[in-house]
Amino acid sequence: MNRLVHAIAISVLALSLAPVAADAAPHKRVAKKEAHASIVKRARVSKTYTVPRSPMVARQSRSIVRLAPAKPSFGEMAGLHATQDELDLRSSVALVIDQDSNEILLRKNDSAVLPIASITKLMTGLVISEAKLPMDEAVTISQDDVDTEKFTGSRLRVGATLTRGELMQLALMSSENRAAHALGRTYPGGLNAFVEAMNSRAKLLGMNDTKYVEPTGLSSRNQSSAQDLARLVAFASNDPMLRELTTTPERQVEVGNRTMQFHTTNRLVKNPAWEIGLQKTGYIAEAGQCLVMQAKVAGRKLIMVFLDSAGKLSRIGDAERVRKWVETHSPSGLPSPNTIIRQVNG
C-alpha cells in the first residue's frame, strides 16, 4: 500500500514538473534568438552610420558638406558688377566699336584694367605670326610647359611632339595652355624674350594699360582694359593666319600614335547666325568669363569686348544681346553711347 502511494506521488510530481521542463527549452531558444537579434541589430546600426545606405541618411551626410565660397573676380571686388545698363549685360566691362568708322556703339567700364585670362593668347599668336617662324618645325612639350600657376590639366602630355603650326591652332582654337607656353618657350631668346616681345608689341599698338607676364593667361598679372583689347582685336583681325586659326571649329591632331580631336572654346563659331572674323575666349577666377570678337553684324564690322562676365554662358549671352540690339536698329537709329550704357571708369 505504501509502495502504491509512493508510486502515485512520484507520477503526480513528474506530471506537474513536465510543463515546466517543456517551456524551459523554448525560452532558452528565444533568449538565444533575442540575443542574436540584438547583436545583429547593433551591428546593422553601426554599419548604417559608418556606411550610410538609406537615401535619408545619404542626404543628411551630403547636407553637412561645406563647399569653399567662389573666389571673387577683380571686377567684383572693385564693385564693377553694380553698374547697370539697358541691355542687362552680365559682363561688368563691355565695349562695342564699329571697326570702319571707329564709332563707339556701346561702352561700360571700358577703361577698367582687369586680368584678361586666355585673351592673352591672342597676343601670343600675334607675336609668333609676326616672327615668321617655321610653322612646320617640331616642338616637344616639356615639363616647363606644365601649369604651376593654377595646376590645370592638359591633353598634351610631356614628351608629345607637334608642329609649331599645330600648337598655334590648339592655343588659339582650344585655348590649350601647354601649347601656348611651348610657343613662348621656343621663341628665339626663350620665354623672357617672348614676354618682352609681347609687351613691346602692346606698346606699339597703343595698349598703354596692358601688361603681360607669361603667354597663357593663367596669371592674373596679365592685365588690360577693354579699350586696349579693342585695339588688339582690330589689328589682329587683319592677320590671315590668326583669322583662320581662331575661327576653326575643330581639328584632328596626330600626337604620337594617337589621333586627338580638339574643338573651339567659342560655340558662336559654329552658329550660322554669326559671321565671325576673329575671336578668343578666356577664363580664370580672377578675370571671370571673357570674350573678344570681330564679327559682321547687320552689314557692319564690329569689335566686341566682354570682360568679367558672371556665369559660364553669360559672355555668349551678352554677345547675342548686342547682336540683336544692333540688328533691330538702323545705324542712324542707334542711341548715343552715353544714353545706352552709363560710362563708369574703373
Active site residues: 118, 121, 175
Q: Using only C-alpha atoms, what is the Rg of the chain?
A: 36
Alpha-carbon distance of 229 to 95, in angstroms, equals 9
Q: Which three cell numbers stand for residue 200?
A: 613691346
Burial of 264 (0-12, 13-18, 19+ CB in 10 A): buried
Kindly write down the DSSP assignment for every residue of 107-145, as one continuous string.
EESTT--EE-GGGHHHHHHHHHHHHT--TT-EEE--GGG
Q: Which residues contact 58 (CB under 8 A, 6 or more apart)?
A: 52
| Measured distance CA(156)–CA(161) in Å, rounded | 9
**Letter for the amino acid at 22?**
A
Residue 85 phi/psi, 5° resolution?
A: -145, 160
